[in-house]
Amino acid sequence: MDFSNKVAIVTGAGGGIGEAYAKSIAALGAAVAIADINEAGAQRVAGEIKASGGKAFSVKVDVSKEESCKAMADAVVAEFGGIDFLVNNAAIYGGMEMHSLMDVPYAYWQKFMSVNMDGCLLVTRAVAPHMEKRGGGSIVNQSSSAAWLPRAGYYGIAKLALNGITQNLAMELGPKKIRVNGIAPGPTDTEATRTSTSEGLVDSIVASLALARMGEVKDMADACNFLLSDEASWITGQILCVDGGFIM
């Protein structure tokens, strides 16, 4: 795959899976905007990409705020001249054990949904008009196996909504030659997984997988690159489970 002359935005790229997405896209030749609410993380990742010869730019964004998303998209266009790819990866995660629908304070539910559900829509609405100006584009939304698990509480519900947003946007943006797909990772080895989920829970899920190992960030990056690329040019509205056989 060759992403030379492409411009990509990865939200939540200041660490974890988003960092792997950004570095992998940059390694294929694209200029990558590292968009995160965590400015220090975004600057570190952009610096590391540049140090290894890639093109990167860090930009602060709060994906739950419409004006912030618009300002981020405009800043990327000012820096790189346009936008071809978007990966909506940013999310918060409270830990699966805390996801009781009966107990979650309503204010937290609203904050959670504004980042994990609305964020994908707000960033896409800010970015898609710029893709249209380039004659098309490709968007990947970061879902989760949790979308298929009724016990995954509001985290799973937000990802289920994100799958619906993905399919609806695929229909709406298809005529503009913008493809919209999703990736649903299973348990993946990141700092967030290690600190927010009890070890026993992750171990028991991993033991139940057809391919009984934890996901690596590279597993996700390889799938993301495929969905972004022209190799997937007739694929849209799909949620690709990259999960060792967890959901099938």
Specify the stretch interacting with ligand NAI by CB under 6 A; choose among 24-32, 49-57, 98-106, 189-197. Answer: 189-197
State in angstroms the smallest separation of the CB of 118 from ligand NAI: 10
Determine the interface stretch with ligand NAI among 167-175, 191-199, 222-230, 232-240 (rule: CB under 6 A).
191-199
Greatest distance between any 2 Cα atoms in the chain: 50
Question: 10 Å Cβ neighbour count for 130?
Answer: 20
Query: What's the count of helices (H) and strands (E) in the chain, helices before strands?
Result: 9, 7
Single out the residue of 24, 58, 89, 163 in contact with ligand NAI (rule: CB under 6 A): 89
| Helix, strand, or coil (residue 41) | helix
Q: Could you tell me how many residues of this chain bind ligand NAI (CB under 6 A)?
A: 30
DSSP codes, 131-188: HHHTT-EEEEEE--GGGG-GGGHHHHHHHHHHHHHHHHHHHHHGGGTEEEEEEEE-SB
Q: Active site includes 154?
A: no
Q: Quick check: 11 binds ligand NAI (CB under 6 A)?
A: yes
| CA dist list (Å): 101 to 68, 108, 126, 157, 184 | 29, 11, 31, 10, 22
AA identity, residue 141: N
Q: Could you give the CA distance from residue 208 to residue 173 in angstroms, rounded to a whole number? A: 38
55-60: strand order across its sheet: 55-60, 31-36, 7-11, 85-88, 137-142, 178-185, 239-242
CB of 68 to ligand NAI, least distance (A): 8
x/- contact string, 157-186, with ligand NAI (CB under 6 A)?
Answer: ----------------------------x-
30 or 224, CB closer to ligand NAI?
A: 224
Q: Which residue in the set 24, 144, 225, 236 belongs to the binding site for ligand NAI (CB under 6 A)?
A: 144
According to CB under 6 A, which residues from 52 to 81 bind ligand NAI? 61-64
Binding of residue 90 to ligand NAI (CB under 6 A): yes
Among 26, 30, 32, 92, binds ligand NAI (CB under 6 A): 92
Q: DSSP label at 85?
A: E
Judged by beta carbon, residue 27 or residue 202, the one nearer ligand NAI is 202
Pick from 58, 124, 142, 236: which binds ligand NAI (CB under 6 A)?
142
Collapsed DSSP state (helix, strand, coil) of residue 219: helix
Site for ligand NAI in 29-48 (CB under 6 A): 36-38, 41
Q: Where do contacts with ligand NAI occur on this chain (CB under 6 A)?
A: 11-12, 14-18, 36-38, 41, 61-64, 89-93, 115, 142, 144, 185, 187-188, 190-193
* Positions marked catalytic: 155
